[in-house]
Amino acid sequence: MNIQDELQATIDALVQKGKGILAADESSPTIAKRFQAIGVESTEENRRTYRCMILTTPDLGEFISGVILFEETLGQHTDDGIKLSALCLQQDIVPGIKVDKGKLSLPNAPGDEITQGLDGLELRLKGYKQQGARFAKWRDVYNINETTPSLLAVQANAEVLARYAAVCQAQGIVPIVEPEVLINGDHSLARCAEVSEAVFNEVFHALHRHQVVLEHMLLKPNMIVPGKLNPQKASPHEVAVQTVKILRRTVPAAVPSINFLSGGLTPEVATANLNAMNQLDPQPWELSFSYGRALQEPALQAWKGDAANTQKVQVALYQRARLNGIARYGKYNEAMESNH
Ligand code: 13P
């Protein structure tokens, strides 16, 4: 298969009605934080056990088309010696891989950060592909305060994101392009909209400069929401209208699907917001999910490190995936939270 056909086949497998992506690619420090919250030590064995458990959730593939893994997971096996990436394929779920190497402070831009990981990326991608990964993810973050993000941060992060995407496509790996304007702080919804518009706009200009094929990538943005510490909350409808407005201004119609991150929203709010977007007029792209916390939080709470809870974990994950699958059609309602 030539590279363009290969990329298109992966897009077709990832972008399906009623389905979205599970982000299970927490880096070592992040998974340690999640485990600590439920009193579990973050050892390699515990991480393997947990991830085996979620990936063997019966029928997860009904609502999940792809899963983003962390490098360590790609090399791990079940107790029966099955590769975890092969477990995904058994459920018709495409395995992907987080390839950025986290963030550093950006020199001469106080309060801003830059994502690293371009050095050696081509070689790493070849290895990941051999291990079964067919798509990748790279996350840029933008902090909102009075002076950030600076123009320098917006431009520098867009540049690395586009370079990453171009390297991925050259290797036949579909890039997920993730610019995340963080929810931290007390900023207004309008300020989130203003910053996100500038960020997404710059990202697509950089993608164009690097000749990234828009049909063969996915966008994973934040939703337009007020800062977490802002007492004024926004309804799902308000979030949906503002988010779609900013995306329509900045994201070309050639992009097949927009898969939101949950970014600290509760599972219920993340589902309700996605649902509200899918109740608006039809858009040029699919509106879907690529949630980490909003899919896994109830599962982690159900687990608490005890193997006896395996079934509860899988039921919790399946239920969240199902509700988000319903939200893909705009047919979710709050009553479904208790009816299962
Ligand atoms: P959250 O949905 O928890 O924000 O995670 C998504 C993700 O992959 C962040 O990079």
In testing the pocket of ligand 1, which one of 290, 300, 320, 324 has its CB within 8 Å of the most ligand atoms?
290
8 Å CB contact between 214 and 254: yes
Residue 145, token pair as written in the block: 């305060």
Per-domain boundaries in the chain: 3-338
8 Å CB contact between 262 and 221: no
Instruction: State how far Cα 136 lies from the chain centre.
Output: 10
pLDDT at residue 339, as a whole number:
64
User: At the fourth CATH level, which superfamily is domain 3-338?
Assistant: Aldolase class I (3.20.20.70)
Does 252 sit behind a cis peptide bond, omega within 30 degrees of 0 on the bond before it? Answer: no
Residue of minimum CA distance from atom 1 in ligand 1:
292
Distance from the alpha carbon of residue 288 to the mean position of ligand 1, in angstroms: 13
DSSP 8-state class, residue 194: H
| Residue (of 20, 82, 43) closest to 288 by Cα position | 20
pLDDT at residue 198, as a whole number:
98
Distance from the alpha carbon of residue 41 to the mean position of ligand 1, in angstroms: 21
Q: Can you give the pLDDT of all 340 residues of the chain as single tens digits?
A: 899 999 999 999 999 999 999 999 999 999 999 999 999 999 999 999 999 999 999 999 999 999 999 999 999 999 999 999 999 999 999 999 999 999 999 999 999 999 999 999 999 999 999 999 999 999 999 999 999 999 999 999 999 999 999 999 999 999 999 999 999 999 999 999 999 999 999 999 999 999 999 999 999 999 999 999 999 999 999 999 999 999 999 999 999 999 999 999 999 999 999 999 999 999 999 999 999 999 999 999 999 999 999 999 999 999 999 999 999 999 999 999 996 6
Write out the catalytic residue numbers.
178, 220
| Residue (of 56, 30, 35) closest to 318 by Cα position | 56
User: Counting atoms of ligand 1 from 1, which one is nearest the CA of 178?
Assistant: 10
Distance from the alpha carbon of residue 138 to the mean position of ligand 1, in angstroms: 11
Residue 179, token pair as written in the block: 């610019």
Supply the angle between the helices 189-209 and 151-170 in degrees, to the nearest 10.
Answer: 50
Torsion 58-13-252-141 (CA) sign: positive
Residue 150 CB neighbour total at 10 angstroms: 16
Query: What are the pocket residues of ligand 1 if the criterion is a CB atom closer than 6 Å to any ligand atom?
Result: 23, 25, 139, 178, 261-263, 291-294
Distance from the alpha carbon of residue 266 to the mean position of ligand 1, in angstroms: 12
Element (H, E) at 186: none
pLDDT at residue 32, as a whole number:
98
SS3 291: strand
User: Counting atoms of ligand 1 from 1, which one is nearest the CA of 23?
Assistant: 8
Supply the angle between the helices 310-327 and 293-303 in degrees, to the nearest 10.
Answer: 160
Alpha helices, H only, the chain: 3-14, 28-36, 44-55, 71-74, 84-90, 121-130, 151-170, 189-209, 236-250, 267-277, 293-303, 310-327
| Residue (of 70, 36, 37) closest to 54 by Cα position | 70
Q: Locate tokens 């706009």: which residue?
A: 201
Distance from the alpha carbon of residue 178 to the mean position of ligand 1, in angstroms: 9
Residue of minimum CA distance from atom 8 in ligand 1:
23
pLDDT at residue 340, as a whole number:
60
* Rounded-to-integer distance, Cα 182 and Cα 222, Å: 8
Please report, for residues 9, 14, 28, 138, 323, the alpha-carbon distance to residue 270 in angstroms, rounded to integers and kept in the order given: 28, 20, 24, 21, 10
8 Å CB contact between 336 and 323: yes
User: Counting atoms of ligand 1 from 1, which one is nearest the CA of 270?
Assistant: 2
